[in-house]
Amino acid sequence: MYKFKKFSDVLSSKKFILTASFIGLFLISVGLSLLVFYLISPKSVGKVINKVAQKSKFNLSLPKTEECPINGQKYTKPEADVWNSRRPIIQMIENHVDARPESGLSRADVVYEAVAEGGITRFAAVFYCAAVAEDVKTAPLRSARVYFINLAAGYGKSPLYLHQGEANNICNTCPGGVKPRSEIDPTVNALTLFDKLGWQGGTMGNRLDGGYNIGFPMVARNQYRLGGTPAAWEHSVVADLDLIWQEADKRGLGFKDKNGTPWTQGFKKWPFQDGKTAASASATDIKFNFWESMPGYDVEWKYNSTSNSYKRFNGGKEHIDWEFDKPQLTATNVAVMFVKETGPLDTEHHMFYQVIGTGKAIVFQNGEAIQGTWSKASALDREVFYDTNGKEIKMVRGTTWVEVLPIGNPVTY
């Protein structure tokens, strides 16, 4: 066999030149193909790139032995090692019909839904365990309301509260820089509640405001998130959860704070149980609305006995996550809290929902409905669900949705 004496001989060989030429032509053709494909369908190229970026960071075939403290779901030890270095993110995500489908909701451990204003619902999504294995982008980021803050406060003294502004009384053109009471009722002033809870803004606080104290690349506007037609400006803010957690770590807000106190101190874990499909499921098609005048926000949860979970429909359509091959949103528990609704309270049409106290509740799980009550003693207490005998309801391990409905709204199933 002929052997080259020098490396230069290799470079000048006919075989090498032919091989290099073939590789070069191949790479050029791939590049040109992607360019043409992008010009024809930029959305499809984005799908390919996103799919590559969303591959799991861990070997998910390992035994699932570790319990998520948020919802009881079991995960691998490497995943638990990650979340045990962090604290939860509670993010405000909007649900306007023009902003659907949202990004990232399928990776939330718990999701709260309530009306923001005008019968349009909004979500407070709790990200902790299910968001570990992949790079998770969430959208659209929107503003805070006091009742969502009160629910978020049940996840430790200083959770990472991610939002884009809030209901407040600041006005640069008003006398004294403050809006009149008629424009915003003090009851719904989120800044007052932030101060009461001790949640700080600025560059070191746990209150992460995309319009104030965090920016690119942690949050970025992408009006083309859903395709070639640009979304409205207010529907376009995307958050990168991994970068948010990195920022929190810089601020001394990891699993423990600067004083060495873990976020779990004082946190109320729900009791958990393994799921078991009922022999004869009696709650298989759950339906309700928030406001009768806004059918685009009507909710339906359909039970799937094979997976022992509920599939979500919103406004009569399958409710999907725009990311991760577009799965339909599901829950293993759907808990309905009936609360007092007040409003609109001012000219900005703010609502108020009383999520601190007690009230009636229905918990759907395993294909059945459990009538009972909910209780939340203070903002810093997590809501707890009881059956009619006063015994705390065990949540089936997995994603839980908490639906905050006005007292008197019918729920059929």
Which domain covers residue 70, as residue numbers? 64-413
Is the same domain home to 46 and 120? no
Q: What is the predicted pLDDT for the residue at 328? A: 98
Residue 108 lies inside a defined structural domain of this protein: yes
Is the same domain home to 23 and 140? no
At 396, the pLDDT band (50, 70, 90 cuts) reads very high
Is the same domain home to 106 and 79? yes
Q: For 41-68, write each residue's pLDDT tens digit.
A: 444 434 443 443 447 898 999 999 999 9
Q: Which two tokens stand for residue 122?
A: 């909004």
Q: Are strands 137-138 and 120-127 parallel, antiparallel or unpaired?
A: unpaired
Pairwise CA distance, residues 49 & 332, whole Å: 31
Question: Taking a C-beta distance cutoff of 8 angstroms, is the pair 309, 302 a contact?
Answer: no
Is the same domain home to 131 and 253? yes
Q: What is the predicted pLDDT for the residue at 112? A: 99
Average pLDDT over residues 23-48: 41
Average pLDDT over residues 366-391: 98
Average pLDDT over residues 339-361: 98
Is the same domain home to 145 and 74? yes
Max alpha carbon distance in the chain (Å)?
92
Average pLDDT over residues 5-9: 44
Q: Are strands 160-163 and 357-365 parallel, antiparallel or unpaired?
A: unpaired
Where is average pLDDT lowest: 22-36, 135-149, 231-245?
22-36
At 30, the pLDDT band (50, 70, 90 cuts) reads very low
Is the same domain home to 178 and 106? yes
Q: For 304-330, write each residue's pLDDT tens digit.
A: 999 999 999 999 999 999 999 999 999
Positive or negative, the CA dihedral 387, 393, 399, 401 is positive
Q: What is the predicted pLDDT for the residue at 155? A: 98
Q: Degrees (nearest 5) of the Cα angle 114, 118, 121? A: 25
Residue 2 lies inside a defined structural domain of this protein: no
Average pLDDT over residues 235-256: 98
Tell me what the pLDDT averaged over the chain comes to: 90
Is the pTM above the cut of 0.85?
Answer: yes
Of 218, 219, 207, the closest CA to residue 246 belongs to: 218
Q: What is the predicted pLDDT for the residue at 39? A: 42
Is it the case that residue 18 has pLDDT exceeding 70?
A: no
Residue 57 lies inside a defined structural domain of this protein: no
At 277, the pLDDT band (50, 70, 90 cuts) reads confident
Percent of the chain residues past pLDDT 70, beyond the cut: 87
Q: What is the predicted pLDDT for the residue at 52? A: 38
Q: For 56-108, write each residue's pLDDT tens digit.
A: 898 999 999 999 999 999 999 999 999 999 999 999 999 999 999 999 999 99
Q: What is the predicted pLDDT for the residue at 11? A: 40
Is the same domain home to 105 and 39? no
Q: Is 231 helix (H, G, I), strand (E, B) or coil?
A: coil
- Per the structure, the count of domains in the chain is 2
Q: Which two tokens stand for residue 11?
A: 């470079």
Which string of DSSP letters, residue by residue, matches 167-196?
S--B-TTSGGGB--TTTS-GGG-HHHHHHH
Q: Which residues contact 69 (CB under 8 A, 6 or more apart)?
A: 128, 264, 267, 269
Q: What is the predicted pLDDT for the residue at 8? A: 45
Is the same domain home to 47 and 80? no
Is it the case that residue 36 has pLDDT exceeding 70?
A: no
Which CATH number belongs to the domain containing residue 96 in this structure? 3.50.90.10
Percent of the chain residues past pLDDT 90, beyond the cut: 85
Residue 223 lies inside a defined structural domain of this protein: yes
Q: What is the predicted pLDDT for the residue at 194? A: 98
Is the same domain home to 32 and 71? no
Q: Are strands 89-94 and 333-339 parallel, antiparallel or unpaired?
A: unpaired
Is the same domain home to 46 and 143? no
Residue 59 lies inside a defined structural domain of this protein: no
User: Roughly what angle, to the nearest 10 degrees, separates helices 42-53 and 14-40?
Assistant: 120
Is it the case that residue 40 has pLDDT exceeding 50?
A: no
Residue 370 lies inside a defined structural domain of this protein: yes
Q: What is the predicted pLDDT for the residue at 70? A: 98
Q: For 158-180, write each residue's pLDDT tens digit.
A: 999 999 999 999 999 999 999 99
Is the same domain home to 16 and 141? no
Q: For 118-174, write each residue's pLDDT tens digit.
A: 999 999 999 999 999 999 999 999 999 999 999 999 999 999 999 999 999 999 999
Residue 235 lies inside a defined structural domain of this protein: yes
